[in-house]
Amino acid sequence: MTLIKSISGIRGTIGGAPSEALTPVDIVKFTYAYCSRLRERIAKAEGERYKVVVGRDARLSGEMVENLVTGTLMACGVDVVRAGFASTPTTEMAVTFAGADGGIILTASHNPRQWNALKLLNEKGEFLSAAEGAAILECAEKEDFNFAPVDEIGVVEDEDFTDKHIDAVLALDAVDVEAVRKAGFTVVLDAVNSVGGIIMPRLLERLGVKCICLNCEPTGQFAHNPEPLPANLTALSETVVAQKADLGISVDPDVDRLAFICEDGQPFVEEYTLVSVADYLFSRAVEIAAAQGKTPEEVIAPYTMKSVSNLSSSRALRDVTEKFGGKYSPAAVGEVNVTTLMHETGCLIGGEGNGGVIYPALHYGRDAMVGVALFLSNLAHKKMKVTCLKATYPQYFIAKNKIELSDKSLIDKILSQLQVVFADEDVNTVDGVKISFEKERQWVHLRKSNTEPIIRIYAEAPTMEAARALGEKVISIANQIIGK
């Protein structure tokens, strides 16, 4: 049994005792706290109603959690727009479609079937700030309930926003629907038995793409570990080769992460999902600017020739951005940190190396739908196989490791001393410690876990051997620091 409370929401396993797992008691407390803060955050005239969108993925506990959240919102006097089965990006966009004051997404994303979560949105359909998330956590602990009288109970309306989401994606200037249709792509889709099996085939059909469905029934009985990593996508790889498809597409249960499989069955690698989309958008801006006698930034205004990803993402995005004269900025790990920096820089594209594409021209949230549409547009324009497209990008490899400690106090000692050891290198302390070795085109990023006495270590280099060696070198130095 697990319950994790964080500034981005509440997540846990279903069943067990309150405060030790995601139980009805915890769901009600957290939803009530969200409503309390909503009223403080957005002032309304007397008698004016609050409205919140609720959407969920297809996991087994979804209906139960949805009923509890919806009922609590109503009991707080808040009207509910129930989006039903809806991807995370669809629910985010539904907040603005419905003119709502916020939203709650019921999904544990890539976590296994026994997990669920409440992810909280503001009136823009974006994740709450760290400060607001912390305020909700504090409010939930007070358990100072005061529900609405019978005449003020909220009402529920049902609305499916899937087609509105698809319409918005296809209406984007950068999505070349005609080129994709002419390319005549055949793809295999693995939707891991969740809402991706509803929305993704509809998008692909509108794009004129032949879609061979794998695990597309939204039963919530995930056919495999739902995280879109190569080890979990062997069936997809085999089907792509057997069907002679142009590529494979994998999404996680709430469709905010995206990974591709090449036509030969090999992973495109999820780190390169964002890289490929950025390559397309920047190259497109440069080409249009040259044809019109303008600068690229004049073409893409109000956005800039900049990109953002978190510190643990591949430097390939930086390389591609700089290739087109743009500027790359790193953010602390966490989607809200990435989107905050994206707002500040006005960047054209951003996201995370886990396959999360954030395209501000659509909305500020990871969105596999727009990721697919932009990737296929790129592929259609380049007129090359997916393996050939991958080969055009700078090649890097990431090795993951960790340091387990019995004493949590040693974590800060290790991180601070490593800054001294590598003082001559490029050291970033925005989120843990990231050390970049520019000559070798390598970096290592160390972050402490919020829940365990461990330090997570990501190391990247032009070869996997070099990445692993860098990670092991840092672990060796860390052990020396603590006298191990």
Q: So which residues are the catalytic ones?
A: 109
Cross-strand pairs, 352: 356
| DSSP string across 321-363 | HHHTT-EEEEE-SSHHHHHHHHHHHTEEEEEETTTEEE-TTT-
- CA-derived radius of gyration, the chain: 23
Report strand pairing: 102-106 vs 3-6: unpaired
Which stretches of 234-278 are assigned E, i.e. beta strand?
A: 247-251, 258-261
> Residue 426 — left, alpha, or beta (φ > 0 → left; ψ -120 to 50 → alpha)?
beta
User: Cα dist. 130→105, 134, 224, 327, 448 in Å?
Assistant: 17, 6, 33, 26, 18
Specify the DSSP class assigned to residue 31: H
Q: Which residues contact 33 (CB under 8 A, 6 or more apart)?
A: 136, 137, 139, 140
Specify the DSSP class assigned to residue 203: H
Q: Which tokens hold the place of 351?
A: 């996201």
| b/e per residue 405-431 (b: at least 16 CB within 10 A) | beeeebbeebbebbeeebeebeebeeb
How far does CA 232 lie from the centroid of its chain?
18
